Amino acid sequence: MKTEASNNQKKNVKEAKSSSNFIKQIIEEDIKANKNEGRVHTRFPPEPNGYLHIGHAKSICLNFGLAKEYNGLCNLRYDDTDPSKETIEYVEAIKEDVRWLGFEWEDREYYASDYFEQLFEYAVQLIKAGKAYVDSLSPEEIREYRGTLTESGKNSSYRERSIQENLDLFERMRAGEFKDGEHVLRAKIDMASPNIIMRDPTLYRIKHVSHYRSGDMWCIYPMYDFTHCLSDSIEGITHSICTLEFEINRELYDWVLDWLEVYHPQQIEFARLNLSHTVLSKRKLIRLVEDGHVTGWDDPRMPTISGLRRRGYTPEAIRNFCNRIGVAKADSMVDIALLEYCIREDLNKRTPRVMGVLRPLKVVIENYPEDKEEELEAINNPEDPSMGTRKVPFSRVLYIEQEDFMEDPPKKFFRLAPGREVRLRYAFFIKCIDVIKDPDTGDIIELRCTYDPATRGGDAPDGRKVKGTLHWVSAKHAIPSEVRLYDHLFVKENPNEVEEGKDFSTYLNPNSLKTLKDCKLEPSLAKATPGSRFQFERLGYFCVDSKDSTAKALVFNRTVKLRDTWAKILKSHQKNTVDK
């Protein structure tokens, strides 16, 4: 059965082929018509109340990418109007992530909180124009008076306060004379509007909370809808690109700017990124962190930029992913396999190959002298000969992967078995002659083998073939390491679809992290530095953990397996399109 995600994928593959999208078309028409003197100025407007995730990366690539493509500018603007959840830690993390993704905002770092005084003045102007009033209904009453989708709302009894009284109350709200919730400033629009957003939306609320930037200067804070359009206007943004859920807010965006008669950017909505097997909402990501389901925002299982970075993702792979998924006007779900495909494609080109054994099984080569050792030449990257070769030591005692041996193998098992010969990568053919078991448990603890010195380098001069090639490390030279293997964070394709009475955390994958403490790696990895990336032959791409790894105790994260389900989807898609 085809999943929603894989069907959407095919569409996305098609879209990626055309370099244009509807936003570019709008911009190109604007340039042609010399709107804004042909200027293109965008912004990326995060609220510093959490770390950035892969959905934000889509918005970053889009906003900074468009500015670059049309010789324009893109601002980094913090939309920091809700002091209860915003911190400087988040501000710094956001900067680090945007920069790491490869984008630069130069001196254009702005904060909505820096506009508080100006926004207050704008609010006063609206009051003076009879377009805003102070309402003293309780929050519950305001909700009740708002009406529903099918029923219009009703006017507040405070709606007809005089301009003078409104000005006076608004000043006193600012001066701190009232408690939270006692009054709000509302736009005076239309309580019968079919668009609920337009039913006298709140512009300011009282909040006696310190702001991480403005401190205790303010105890009233402007709402998002009031702040966002005016911040765009103040900064001379030409195209204010936001996600689809703000489509219904556009009417208010336009209303505020039109009544204040200020410069009026154009709001354009696009579909947010939804990724399968994970969640992309700060509210939910915070829950995962706070409830201890993950070790932090940068846990390598998190869909955050910092999590992906720690997992071993490259900025190039993420940018490439964002280009591939394209920009659409309808919400859809992208299969996480596409993200994995993008990182695999990038790491395949750039990473050196090495050998590491995750679950070691001891192998003794009986006809190899005790005190002998030799070095064999191994290719660093078959995709890129310029990466050269390295030496790998070989000796009498080796480790191979436990799963590369079966005592009683089924037909299609081509690896090592009693009496069978296989190739050790870059080394020799070996043949298993005996199996040693733990007398108590019956577990296989050691294999006794012989090797054929004539097969040095991996080929038999007599032309005899073997079906399996195994990776291995020399026991004496091996570097011990911890390796962390990851799987999807959620077992459900869309954990946002929650069954009645359940919570999204019900769908967490209990096996999303597997820690292997006793791995053995080839000695060239002794010098691997935090963040460096490798392909462990046959096992996937791995990187040195940037937090927990030390020179004495290496820790590796598996970024992604080698097996590529996405390539299969692509192939079948190409086949389907040829067939048509």
In degrees rounded to 5, what are phi and psi of residue 311?
A: -70, -20
Shortest CB 13 distance to ligand ATP, Å: 19
First-to-last alpha carbon distance for the chain, in angstroms, is 21
Residue 281 within binding range of ligand ATP, rule CB under 6 A: yes
Residue 333 within binding range of ligand ATP, rule CB under 6 A: no
Q: Clarify whether 284 is annotated catalytic.
A: no
Burial class (CB in 10 A: 0-12, 13-18, 19+), 34: exposed
Q: How many residues bind ligand ATP (CB under 6 A)?
A: 16
Q: What is the DSSP string of 130-182?
A: T-EEEE-S-HHHHHHHT--SSS-----TTTT--HHHHHHHHHHHHTT-S-TTS
Interhelix angle 163-174/116-128, nearest 10 degrees: 160
Active-site choice (77, 272, 311, 558): 272
Give the residue closest to ligand ATP by C-beta. 55
Of 12-20, 40-48, 388-396, 405-413, the segment contacting ligand ATP by CB under 6 A is 40-48
Q: Which DSSP state fits 553?
A: S
Q: Which DSSP state fits 402?
A: G
Of 159-167, 273-281, 412-420, 475-483, the segment contacting ligand ATP by CB under 6 A is 273-281
Q: Which DSSP state fits 265?
A: P
In degrees rounded to 5, what are phi and psi of residue 283?
A: -60, -45
Round to whole Å and give the CA distance between 510 and 507. Answer: 9
Round to whole Å and give the CA distance between 394 and 474. Answer: 5
Active-site choice (4, 47, 96, 316): 47
Q: Clarify whether 580 is annotated catalytic.
A: no
467 CB neighbour count, 10 Å cutoff = 12
Of 53-61, 107-115, 199-207, 424-432, the segment contacting ligand ATP by CB under 6 A is 53-61
Of 278-286, 401-409, 434-442, 530-538, the segment contacting ligand ATP by CB under 6 A is 278-286
Residue 323 within binding range of ligand ATP, rule CB under 6 A: no
**Closer residue to ligand ATP in complex, CB, 46/72:** 46
Both tokens of 317, joined, read 């792979």
**Closer residue to ligand ATP in complex, CB, 136/281:** 281
Task: Note whether 255 and 315 are within 8 A (CB).
Answer: no
Task: Note whether 501 and 457 are within 8 A (CB).
Answer: no
Single out the residue of 282, 344, 415, 533 in contact with ligand ATP (rule: CB under 6 A). 282
**Closer residue to ligand ATP in complex, CB, 234/334:** 334
**Closer residue to ligand ATP in complex, CB, 174/277:** 277
Q: Which residues contact 150 (CB under 8 A, 6 or more apart)?
A: none
**Closer residue to ligand ATP in complex, CB, 280/288:** 280
Pairing of strands 184-187, 202-206: antiparallel
Both tokens of 35, joined, read 């709107």
Residue 309 within binding range of ligand ATP, rule CB under 6 A: no
Both tokens of 394, joined, read 């070989």
Active-site choice (213, 282, 309, 310): 282
Q: Clarify whether 47 is annotated catalytic.
A: yes
Residue 59 within binding range of ligand ATP, rule CB under 6 A: yes
Q: Which DSSP state fits 278?
A: S
Shortest CB 79 distance to ligand ATP, Å: 6
Single out the residue of 21, 152, 243, 505 in contact with ligand ATP (rule: CB under 6 A). 243
Residue 45 within binding range of ligand ATP, rule CB under 6 A: yes
Shortest CB 58 distance to ligand ATP, Å: 4
Round to whole Å and give the CA distance between 332 and 104. Answer: 29
Residue 56 within binding range of ligand ATP, rule CB under 6 A: yes
Single out the residue of 191, 234, 280, 305 in contact with ligand ATP (rule: CB under 6 A). 280
Residue 58 within binding range of ligand ATP, rule CB under 6 A: yes
Residue 55 within binding range of ligand ATP, rule CB under 6 A: yes
Q: Which residues bind ligand ATP (CB under 6 A)?
A: 45-47, 55-56, 58-59, 79, 242-243, 272-273, 280-283
* Residues annotated catalytic, as ranges: 47, 272, 282
